[in-house]
Amino acid sequence: MKNLLVILVLIAFACTSSVQKKESQNSDPLTLDKMIMEKSIYDFKLNDIDGNEVDFSQFKGKKLLLVNVASKCGYTPQYEDLQKLNEEYGEKVVILGFPANNFGGQEPGTNEDIKQFCSTNYGVTFQMFDKISVKGADKHPLYRWLSDKDLNGWNDKEPSWNFCKYFIDENGELKQFFASSVNPMDDEIINLIKS
């Protein structure tokens, strides 16, 4: 009898919780999903490779090229072209590098290792960030925004390998996704920067 009473109390509690949850979702127009959907690129804050917080609101009015990077990839030489792009067009576009170890374990190092590698081998001076995940269950919210059309307005493509690129215009709108094979100095990227 005691067990039956405990079971009935648990069932009643579960039903009440479920009803309250549905009511709160229906009555609250600012659900978590809705708040995420309204988020813009300028709402993000991430740590740079040195651990300092970078508020993306500082990029308002600027074109951005976001790239998931890795130190031990066949595309790693694109660091050189990203740096060249930064030197030639840095006043027109901000390059943001996001180290990620999602593809073939090709970015195994610490932030300090990555920073040293980029500086020594490619003279990287563009903005580099803390290592994050760019796909999968632990995908960083920034890359969730970049690769979910319900959040960014049109694009569902997530990085398929290292050195995929997302171009954002000066109004904070995602304009283009480029696969790893597209070089940072490609005419299509240059034309977007110049437009």
Phi, psi (rounded to 5 degrees) for 190? -60, -45
Neighbours of 35 (CB within 10 A): 10
Is-catalytic flag, 73? Answer: yes
Which of 162, 167, 143 has the alpha carbon at shortest distance from 89?
167
Catalytic annotation, pick one of 15, 73, 118, 164: 73
**CA–CA gap between residue 128 and residue 115 (Å, rounded):** 8
In whole angstroms, what is the distance from residue 164 CA to residue 181 CA?
8
Strand partners, 41: none
Q: Which residues pair with 193 in a beta bridge?
A: none
**Structure token pair of residue 23:** 């009511």
Asked if residue 100 lies in contact with residue 109, where contact means CB atoms within 8 angstroms, the answer is: no
Catalytic center residues: 73
